[in-house]
Amino acid sequence: MGTDVKIAMEAAVTMYQVTNPATGKVEKEYPTATDAEISDVLAQADAGYKSWRETSLDERAAILRQVSQLYRDRADDLATLITREMGKTTTAALGEIKFAAVIYKYYADNGADLLKDQPLDTRVPGSAWVRKSPIGAILGIMPWNYPYYQVARFAAPNLMIGNTIILKHAPQCPESALAMQQIFRDAGLPDDAYINVFASNEQVAEIIADPRVAGVSVTGSERAGAAVAATAGQHLKKVVLELGGSDPFIVLDGANLPEVAKTAAAARMENGGQACNSSKRMIVAESVYDEFLSEFTAAMSGYKTGDPTDPATSYGPMSSEQAAVNLTAQVDDAVSKGATVHLGGHRVDGPGSFFEATVLSGVTPEMRAFREELFGPAAVVYKVANADEAVELANSSPFGLGGAVFGSDEALALDVANRLDVGMAWVNSAEGGGADLPFGGTKRSGVGRELGPLGIDEFVNKKLMHTPPEAS
């Protein structure tokens, strides 16, 4: 059990630490929790649940609204933390913080309605309805690429439900993890309703196994999700998994092609290419392939990496040295087997984990770039004969998170989008998102949904209630 989780977790460090990816320097270290501290966390989260579940929905909502406001009030300081931890530009960091604040407010404003009893139309005599109630302490294992947003979409609905939170953040995000815990406390949430823990991999397995923990939510790689889910399954725990993606961006014709190419580049370069649902595979009809490739490469060339605190920087360093090493290996593998590099393809000389904006074509199934997620500023462009071939190529991926389809024939574009094996499909716009829109995928991109009305339905007891008919 512990071995599987240890293999799967994203980092093999035993110390939580801030390693600035712009310089490669370790700036601060935090020790992992002791076993005694883990035992205390489990007891506190369980005790907190017994109290928090009894608070009114109005009280829970008021606290989440205050959390939302504190994110806005502390935005500059919060942005500085994640720029140091994982290299996000200050501009992008501020955007992420704003989105996190919106999520907390969405569940504060809509949670009571989303949790209302649902009457059932039944032939059984009497009245029947479904009542949604909390189930206990939930473990969240969160990634580094969106340190605040990922936690918000997990924590906000669960706290509104009445569950308590044990939060295990990525080892490279200790300071943003502590800042979030402080926000909850300053907003009036009881200390034992949200607990940050710097757990080791073995301790994560112990937390999952503990009977006081009712479920686990993971955002991370497919390997991490599979291993954590296996451990949870051994103990009959509910899981939500938001894992990798290799999302297609399908171009069916030449309508507004220059703008579509710019949209594709922006979609690929979101968060420096380090987003699960950013468009990674550009699948283009052969009739417009050459023009699109030219326009897309030109658009990608406008993205310059550099100091993430400089407003003129398009995107910062990759999140870590290992991330840059991994992407380099994937690109080099493709090139060695015949792929063409139209732009970039290399790390930037000097300190830090900077990588050039990269465009590849001629990627074939024997290359790693064909079957693996490229988690960084690199895109692959494919040529297809028609819409059917586009769908076939798009669905050949083991992932199924999201996808975007562009075409002047909206009926055809909708048909293509409907045929994609994904959890989210966008027509004539890049993949986006909102607090009120469900997020999640299929296949090896995971199970379950976050955000929107579906996001509050994952870790609840949907209890059937029934009363007999009134006596005549």
CA 336 to CA 107: how far, in whole Å? Answer: 49
Given the residues 96, 175, 206, 242, the one annotated as active site: 242
CA 299 to CA 249: how far, in whole Å? Answer: 15
CA 101 to CA 109: how far, in whole Å? Answer: 12
Residue type, 461: N
Question: What b/e string do you get for 286-296 counting C-beta neighbours within 10 Å, with b at 16 or more?
Answer: eebbeebbebb
276 in catalytic set: yes
Residues 198/16, Cβ–Cβ less than 8 Å: yes
Cα 115 to its chain centre, rounded Å, is 24
The residues with which 279 forms a beta bridge, in sequence order, are 247
291 in catalytic set: no
CA 177 to CA 168: how far, in whole Å? Answer: 8
The single residue listed with the structure tokens 């270290």 is 29
Residues 305/316, Cβ–Cβ less than 8 Å: yes
Given the residues 96, 276, 450, 458, the one annotated as active site: 276
Query: How many helices and strands in the chain, by DSSP H and E?
Result: 16, 20
Closest CA to 263 of 244, 276, 250, 245: 250
CA 30 to CA 16: how far, in whole Å? Answer: 5
Residue 235 zone, left/alpha/beta (φ > 0; ψ -120 to 50; rest): alpha
List of long-range contacts for 434-439, beta carbons under 8 Å, 24+ apart? 434/102, 435/99, 435/102, 435/103, 435/105, 435/106, 435/107, 436/106, 436/110, 439/153, 439/242, 439/277
Give Cα separations from 203 to 77, 221, 227, 316, 366 (angstroms): 30, 19, 14, 33, 38
Catalytic residues: 242, 276
